[in-house]
A and B are shown apart, each in its own frame.
Chain A
Amino acid sequence: MSEKTFYQEYEVFSKRTPSSGFQHQFSLLAPNEDMAMIMAQENFMRREPVADIWVVNRKHIRGMNEEEKLTLNRLDNKEYRTAKGYGYLKKKWRKYEQQMLDEKEIMSWGGKKK
């Protein structure tokens, strides 16, 4: 087989700790996914802590082309979808002598029972 078809392109993802999400690292060439896994460790994980690795053949990835990416631009009129659009409630709650339950407060509720 010629070298033009021998190599396949793999994208490499890894996570630093068991609880973190996967992050894209880089791509590499390998003849199959087992070799891709070995190459991923050799090429990208020589030092940093790593808890798991994915290798994905590029032909299985549906990406966006340049034109499609243009559709990702957001109009700047979507405040009703975000907390920012409701910031005025802070002032209103003050009138009732209550603190607003903002993102920082609500996201702090997770975890162990106090």
Chain B
Amino acid sequence: MTNLALAATEEEKMERFMEKIEKGIKIEADDWMPEEYRTTLIKLISMHGMSEIMGALPEKEWVPKAPSLHRKLGIMAKVQDEMGHGQLLLRVAEDLLKPYGKTRGDLMQDLFTGKLKFHNVFHAETRTWGDAGLIGWLVDGAAIITQTDMLNASYGPYARALHRICAEEVFHAQHGEAIIMALAEGTDEQRAMIQDALNRWWNSLLVFFGPAAKETLGTSKQDVTIKYKIRTKTNEQLRQDFFTKYVPRILSLGLELPDKTMHYNEEKEVWVYQEPDWSELKAVARNEGARSQARLNLRRTSYQTNAWVRDALAATIS
């Protein structure tokens, strides 16, 4: 095509790009985009995608140990969904990676070497069935808060993937609630089990949203993602939304908040809470969480064990 558009300078392209962002016109994979937008999306979406895949592993541990056939079927469906979400998101990331000549295989290697991180909540142990319920209820609840914030993301393919994902997350959240409510209405021992799970997961749940200010950890992508309308709310706004939605529900089930000082300040309209221990996030970023290496090893082993399948299928099309 020879026309004026080809002659557009980088500056003009940037101007046109920002105009689309401001007007709410979606950016598509083949459209021109600034490098910063592309790299921000790649980092965000590849981490999201790998977290779905790694996030299936803590729950998968409870498939053989689920207390009934019904519960086993439910948690298996959820594990399958998480892998499906990983497939969708890796596709979105791969199309963005094209100019760099990188593929899914490269992302997998980045995961193995520790260059590509996965969410803090998936590095922890799942000690009891209460943990399996709590992951569905509150970890998925936290993920729903961050993901629904991006349903109108400026990048079309990611927004469309999130629409599919969030629709299934509704089932995940209810699946988690069903486990938690059954335990909450059960014996003292069962109630103690979910209180113990809540106590152990609380720090990770707060850390999940990221620090309020970039000074906490030295880096933060929240300003860039808001500038390009990939997301709308800050880390702190999302954490506050999570409290507003879930604290009343936690209390209504007779559970206690692990943070005894926590309260809602009516005047300022904010939840006041104890700052979580951010060292957890630093440790998992180095893959030094309780189950980081075990889960990465499981992924490595299955990737290597299944290499022959990829080789065999490749042979038929060459």
Q: What CA separation (Å) do A68 and B315 show in the bound complex? A: 38
**A43 and B311 form a contact (CB under 8 A):** no
Q: Judge if A76 is at the interface, Cβ distance under 8 Å.
A: no
How many residues from B make CB contacts under 8 Å with A? Answer: 32
Given A7-B104, A26-B91, A28-B91, A1 and B5 contact (CB-CB distance below 8 Å): no
Q: Provide the residues of chain A in CB contact with B161, threshold 8 Å.
A: 26
> Please, what's the 1-or-0 string for B1-36, where 1 marks a CB less than 8 Å from any CB in chain A?
101011000000000000000000000001110000
Q: Quote the shortest CB–CB distance from A44 to chain B (angstroms).
A: 8
**B1 and A63 form a contact (CB under 8 A):** no
Which label, helix, strand, loop or mixed, suits the secondary structure of the B interface?
Answer: helix
Q: What CA separation (Å) do A6 and B310 show in the bound complex? A: 8
Q: Judge if A105 is at the interface, Cβ distance under 8 Å.
A: no
Q: Judge if A56 is at the interface, Cβ distance under 8 Å.
A: no
**B91 and A3 form a contact (CB under 8 A):** no
Q: Quote the shortest CB–CB distance from A24 to chain B (angstroms).
A: 9
Query: Residue of B at shortest CB range from A27?
Result: B91
Q: What CA separation (Å) do A68 and B1 show in the bound complex? A: 8
Given A42-B84, A67-B6, A31 and B103 contact (CB-CB distance below 8 Å): no
Q: Quote the shortest CB–CB distance from A45 to chain B (angstroms).
A: 10
> Please, what's the 1-or-0 string for B289-318, where 1 marks a CB less than 8 Å from any CB in chain A?
000000000000000000000110111111
Q: Judge if B166 is at the interface, Cβ distance under 8 Å.
A: no
Q: Quote the shortest CB–CB distance from A98 to chain B (angstroms).
A: 44
Q: What CA separation (Å) do A28 and B317 show in the bound complex? A: 17
A residues 29-48 near B (Cβ < 8 Å) are: 29, 31-32, 35, 39, 42-44, 46-47
**B81 and A46 form a contact (CB under 8 A):** yes
Q: Provide the residues of chain A in CB contact with B30, threshold 8 Å.
A: 63, 65-66
**A66 and B80 form a contact (CB under 8 A):** no
**A4 and B105 form a contact (CB under 8 A):** yes
Q: Provide the residues of chain B in CB contact with A26, threshold 8 Å.
A: 88, 91, 160-161, 164
Contact surface of A with B, Cβ cutoff 8 Å: 1, 3-8, 26-29, 31-32, 35, 39, 42-44, 46-47, 63, 65-68, 70
**Known interface pairs A3-B104, A31-B317, A70-B5; 17 further A-B residue pairs with C-beta atoms within 8 A, sorted by A's residue number:** A1-B315, A4-B105, A5-B314, A6-B313, A27-B91, A29-B91, A29-B104, A31-B313, A31-B316, A44-B84, A46-B77, A46-B80, A46-B81, A47-B168, A63-B30, A65-B30, A67-B1
